[in-house]
Amino acid sequence: MEDPVISEESNISSSETPATPTDSQEAASSQPAPISSRRETVNRNVYIMLDVNHRKVEPKDIIEYEWPVKSGDRWFLQEQIGELLDIKSFSRKYPDFTRRKVNHEEREFLEWNFNVHKLLNETLLRDMNAMRASEIHDMMQSDFGDIYMEYKKVVSQREREAQLEKAKEMEAIKNDSVKLAELRRKAVQNAVDFNKDIQNQRRNERKHFWDIQTNIIQSRRNSWKVMKPEATRPGPYPVALIPGQYQHYFKKFSSEELNRLPLGTVIESSHLYPAVREPSPPPLNIAEQDLVRFEREEAMRAREATLNTTPQSSMAQIKQGRKLIAAYDSDDEENHIY
């Protein structure tokens, strides 16, 4: 058994003995270099890219917009709502919600009017999704009441600021007659555009509407046939309550119409069948020689018509041409005989 006193003395003596230079060099080579000596190998010009920077979304940053413009459909960005409400996956938590991809034109609209490129990083901007505003409002009101109240305060503040800005512009315009005339012209043009859009929707999209109070489907009058007042005015006997009872609404049929009605058997049925037409004449078979002769005669008539205004000296040419045609005809007849 080793004596503890002797072992302690040996440890003390070994710690007190100075280390030689060779021993210190060997120890330095065997141990790793300190951090201070390795600082030169680290690249200090490495920056964190903007894509990985995280910015907390607040109610004042939420964008609610209308797309397409003047369509009445309002949308939220899923990325902003998910970050605000701390929802990782809308498709799992709210699978019935309406969502769609944001196209390129819509993205440019958001960047130009709402500066969405300053609110979201480039990674989220590449793949943005839009969700219907009515569904998000109902969800936030029922599940996230506190956040929804903050958002409503932000919306009311935005509207108040917009009204104040518009009031300042109106005060500045009142003293400028040129700007006032320009504003009046723009107001008239806006009214014209609004009426044009309303008429277009009423003509093409909203042809009918349902009146809830009366349960009547209203529509334009010119789309239906308008009857005479005598035809729609009810009489003392409008309808027969029992078979054979006298009523005003009846029609008198002529004998020809009764023969065509299927009352047991149809007597006159000629109108049900197609009209009888005579057969077409047989096709005409024209020989090739006759066709050539006909073309020559047509050419000669056209030439005579063009030379009607020529002097008498050109009549010899016409006679010579007729002789040539007669010679050609005689040759054709001989060839036909042989």
- What's the length of the chain? 338
> Which amino acid is present at 5?
V
pLDDT tens per residue, the chain (338 residues)? 444 444 444 444 444 444 444 444 444 444 544 444 444 454 455 444 444 555 677 778 888 888 888 788 888 888 888 888 888 887 888 888 888 888 888 888 888 888 888 777 777 777 888 888 888 888 888 888 888 888 888 888 888 888 888 888 777 777 777 888 888 899 999 999 999 988 888 888 888 888 999 989 888 878 788 888 888 888 888 888 888 888 877 788 888 888 888 767 777 777 778 788 888 888 878 888 888 888 889 988 888 888 775 555 555 666 666 666 666 556 555 544 44
Nearest alpha-carbon partner for 329 in 287, 286, 290, 288: 290
Q: Is residue 63 part of a domain?
A: yes
Residue with tokens 């014209």: 192
Q: What is the pLDDT of residue 189?
A: 94
Q: Model-level pTM? A: 0.41
Domain span at residue 56 reads 52-161
**CA distances (Å), origin 196, targets 115, 205, 209, 222:** 31, 13, 19, 19
Q: Is residue 238 part of a domain?
A: no
Q: Is residue 107 part of a domain?
A: yes
How far apart CA 117 and CA 61 sit, in angstroms, is: 12
CB 258 within 8 A of CB 268: no
Residue with tokens 């009764």: 258
User: End of a domain among 161, 185, 219?
Assistant: 161
Round to the nearest angstrom and report the end-to-end CA distance of the chain. Answer: 152
Q: What is the pLDDT of residue 318?
A: 62
E strands, the chain, are: 64-66, 74-77, 99-101, 129-132, 208-211, 216-219
Q: In this structure, are 150 and 184 located in the same domain? A: no
Q: Is residue 254 part of a domain?
A: no
CB 168 within 8 A of CB 134: no
Q: Is residue 191 part of a domain?
A: yes
Nearest alpha-carbon partner for 292 in 327, 256, 260, 332: 332
Q: In this structure, are 124 and 149 located in the same domain? A: yes
Helix (H, G, I), strand (E, B) or coil at 227: coil
Nearest alpha-carbon partner for 151 in 62, 82, 58, 59: 59
Residue 229: asked if its preceding bond is cis (omega within 30°), the reply is no
- Could you give the number of structural domains in the chain? 2
How far apart CA 298 and CA 281 sit, in angstroms, is: 26
Q: What is the pLDDT of residue 60?
A: 81
User: End of a domain among 114, 138, 161?
Assistant: 161
Percent of residues in the chain assigned helix, strand, coil, to nearest 5? 60, 5, 35
Q: How many CB atoms lie within 10 A of CB 173?
A: 16
Nearest alpha-carbon partner for 232 in 256, 248, 208, 213: 248
Q: What is the pLDDT of residue 37?
A: 44
Q: How many CB atoms lie within 10 A of CB 84?
A: 20
Q: In this structure, are 69 and 157 located in the same domain? A: yes
Helices (H) and strands (E) in the chain, counts: 14, 6
Q: In this structure, are 157 and 186 located in the same domain? A: no
